[in-house]
Structure 1
């Protein structure tokens, strides 16, 4: 038998020693871009194609002489026997992985490579760890994960192609939840604990209070004064004391406070900023209704838009103030309980309404300009943009006015009498009707008046006493005779004398009586002539006339 025949026979015998599906420990001979060559202990070597390693690629520790386990496939390629590294791994690992998957148990693995959308994790087979399932809270950089041993939970296991998807985040969440439950059982609202600032966000700071359990200190609970960023109060890595503000056991959330352990800037606020004190402050923001002013960090007051100017009606504070600029203000009110401090810009100067009151006593006649008409009255400029009001009821003594536009127009100069100035309310009341005496004074109850009949009704007559002023005589008060007809006794334009029996200043109504006047005159005549000896008929008739 020649040498060629002997080699062929040995090769055949070697093949007979290995059966397809058999696992064998082999040594690596070489690694190149095509794959891995292994020593099968036979004339022909084994070969693991590069495609078998997938996205992971050939493991970094695959070097010459390293022993690995492979599955003999029985196939040949380019003079090599094809063997499978993955099948060998799967045969050893699959049963255990299936048990862990079914039992929702964690498995250990090593992150071996970063790929698009995630990582490859060696858990006995190459599993895919999506980027969304990486617990980024426990690491500072994703690069730190390479070659790192981690615990993962198998979320998908495909028996057909022997693939798996795993989650690092779900394991971390479970551990964190368990840790949170333990920690939550040991703390209560109001406790002061220690922690480390783990991360900053726009809305606050996350603080690790142990065991990977984090609480949140909202930005409003980091400082007594207004801050725009959490970094203005704390920094990542700071070890701080905090107060437990709230605990949500169901959600495992803890609310923490940092400022609550700092002195409150409003302590003794009434002594620091007494009412009436002049203070300097910086405008921090301007809004439609006023300006917020910082007197010192943590102490902010409000200047209402009505407290900006004595003489002008300011629509928006930006007309007088600039954000970031400092001004002098007067303290109007301090409320420690509500955390409110009211300021005034205009009251740093004298009150012009006080000067107006001194300059023009009540009853002073003024020439004023109409600035605005309203259903309830007339607004007028008295002087220097100080406005007063003429109420609708003070326009006329006798005429019923439904709207000021019946008598005046905007821009018109008119005469008026100043009735009252209230400096504390920044108001002044004026009157047009007080330019003349109240005609009602002449029509007090009991007075005798004369007028012309201007209206005749079945139930009585009205008598025009003067311009825009009438009196009413009910039919029962027309005559001593009963069931008299007003239309028979009177004519339009007829002059009538009567007695005032009722005068109501508020309603401006005057009730008259001809009957009572006649009775009164008769009584006077009887009284007069009862004392005279035998008065003549002519004298009596003459008195009646």
Structure 2
């Protein structure tokens, strides 16, 4: 039994409604039941029509036609008439190919779709969102429009058209033509990205590198966003859909003629006006109007410049002098300081020797500090000219960079552009009257400042030091290192032994504060004198004996009558040898040595008597004769002189 139901059936065009077979059966359905695929492929989904359909029960109703019957000509037309009509219909159809842009006529426009006739068997539709608002406002049925034929027929027999693809394809064709011919095109800068900007070029995103925006470096990229500019397509890759444009190329083309004119007339010594284009650590690039010149940091000022931004700013306009122009490389060297007088002109009159000046510390080296007296004029305070008394190891102990210091002009070498300065000359030289304050032989109190292997440095007054040699610390003790006797910061009494004014050195002595005991020992311990003492130290060679007067003597085992010694043993012996200069006394217990010493002593005494005793009669008579002879010669000389005067 057949049931008649009401169904919602999707239709695409009026032609499809007519072609719907009567035996199609649809169950109750709603628009919500349509699949996503149907919505995507059928843009008119949602428009419904109520039809009556039969539920097929297996029984055939009505008249049945075969395919051959359907293909036969109608009874109303003969076969020739039918073929003629079919030919006339087919001639009205255009020959079209897929993936091409075709021109169609707008049939109708509604809120969702635009129906377009491209001269094919069926019309096509294009969603209104593929047209911009301006196009939609100006379009009307009957107008012609270019569309892209994507497919002649989809699975539902629908003609697939696209306005967006037509725009894109036309845009690529325009971009390709512009790239080939070099034609200038307009584009809208949409946004900023890393390395440059994105430009809308006929709906295609093109890349504008930051370096291609202007001939000058761009500092504010955001200022170009939403700005329409002219561009030249400099790179195109259709496969990769890569488009690179440049605005700088257009500017350079305009500047080329101006550039050639400047290069033809430029020469050394010429003064030109330019704008600061870029600032680097080593200098400044100046735009002279299509030609860039380099203003090196050393040519910015006669003075010291740490960074070019101290002198100039970006986009600043200024006059510069052409220092050099290389015609081969087209490089232009510029100068700014050359437009100003040289600061060394009249330097002798500005800074005479002995003048007190003020300056800023601009640099510090191991050997001294450089002082800027004015821009382009610097002097050196050598480390040796910083203090009369302090031992300065590095100038940073006294000055720091950017300090303002006072100093004295010592010397000017105009040829080498050098000025010698001094700080210590601001005060009186403490060495000028050093001998008046520290005469040789005078005693003073000092402070131990440093100990070395060879002696002790003692501060006599702030900045005045003297040296006590290790040999001048004690008359008697044999000192290997000064720390055996003194300590740092200890107060010590000294005697001035010598003053070297040229080298600024003072020789001091500590043992000289006391009387030399060896002068007494020389009288008490003459060779042959019998002495007593006690052993204080024993060695393989002998024993050291402390004598009663305080001296220490050495008793060699070869001069001893005892086989061995122990510390504390009492010893009786004779002075065998006494060396005052070498501070050395030798003992002996052998009688033979005593006899030798006594004999030598007696002989020495006899010799001394002969040299210092009264003259003999013979000597006296000889002297008298010599005296008479000398008096006679003097008288003869006087007589001759008087005769000559007459």
TM (norm. structure 2) is 0.54
The range that moved more, 223-232 or 408-417, is 223-232
Matched residue, 1:350: 428
| Deviation digits for residues 175-216 of structure 1 (CA, Å, limit 9, x no counterpart) | 9xx99xx99x99999997857343353625433466855454
Unaligned runs of 5+ in 2: 1-13, 19-85, 565-570, 609-646
Indicate the structure (1 or 2) with the bigger Cα radius of gyration.
2
- Determine the C-alpha separation between the residues in 2 that align with 1:371 and 1:525: 50
In 1: Cα distance, 2:162 partner to 2:175 partner: 21
- In the alignment, does 2:226 pair up with 1:148? no
TM superposition shift of 1:420: 3.7
Q: Is 1:90 matched up with 2:172?
A: yes
2:574 counterpart residue number: 495
- Equivalent in the alignment of 1:428: 506
Query: 2:320–2:334: 8 Å Cα contact kept in structure 1?
Result: no
State the alpha-carbon separation in 2 of the partners of residues 222 and 91 from structure 1: 52
Output the CA distance in 1 between the equivalents of 2:264 and 2:526: 96
Structure 1 partner of 2:479: 401
For the residues of structure 2 that align with 1:442 and 1:248, how far apart are their CA atoms? Answer: 96
Q: Cα offset for 1:129?
A: 0.8
CA distance in 1, matches of 2:320, 2:116: 59
Q: Secondary structure at the match of 1:352?
A: coil
Provide closer, same or farther for how the CA distance between residues 82 and 280 of structure 1 changes in structure 2, counting only shifts above 3 A.
Answer: closer
Equivalence map 1:160-199=2 (5 Å)? 163-166=241-244, 168=246, 196-199=274-277
How far off is 1:154 after superposition? Answer: 1.9
Range with bigger deviation, 322-331 or 34-43: 34-43
The structure 1 residue matched to 2:188, chosen from 93, 108, 112, is: 112
**Counterpart-to-counterpart distance in 1, 2:449 and 2:510:** 15
Question: How many pairs are equivalent?
Answer: 484
Q: Distance in 2 between matches of 1:469 and 1:385?
A: 40
Q: Classify the secondary structure of the residue corresponding to 1:138.
A: coil
User: Could you tell me whether the CA contact under 8 Å between 1:28 and 1:62 is conserved in 2?
Assistant: no
Superposition pairs of residues 47-446 of structure 1, within 5 angstroms: 64=138, 71-73=148-150, 82-83=162-163, 84-91=166-173, 94=176, 109-117=185-193, 118-120=197-199, 122=201, 126-132=204-210, 134-135=212-213, 137-138=215-216, 140=218, 142=221, 143=223, 146-154=227-235, 157-159=237-239, 163-166=241-244, 168=246, 196-201=274-279, 203=281, 205-208=283-286, 212=290, 214-227=292-305, 229-235=307-313, 236-244=316-324, 257-259=335-337, 262-266=340-344, 269=347, 272-282=350-360, 293-303=371-381, 328-334=406-412, 341-384=419-462, 386-421=464-499, 427-436=505-514
C-alpha root-mean-square deviation of aligned residues, in Å? 6.3
* Cα 1:116–1:429 shift into 2, 3 Å: same
Q: Secondary structure at the match of 1:225?
A: coil
Instruction: Name the one with the larger strand percent.
Output: 1
Give the unaligned 5+ runs of structure 1: 53-57, 476-484, 529-545
Question: TM-score normalized by structure 1?
Answer: 0.62
Change (3 A) 1:169 1:85: closer
Query: What's the CA shift for 1:497?
Result: 3.6
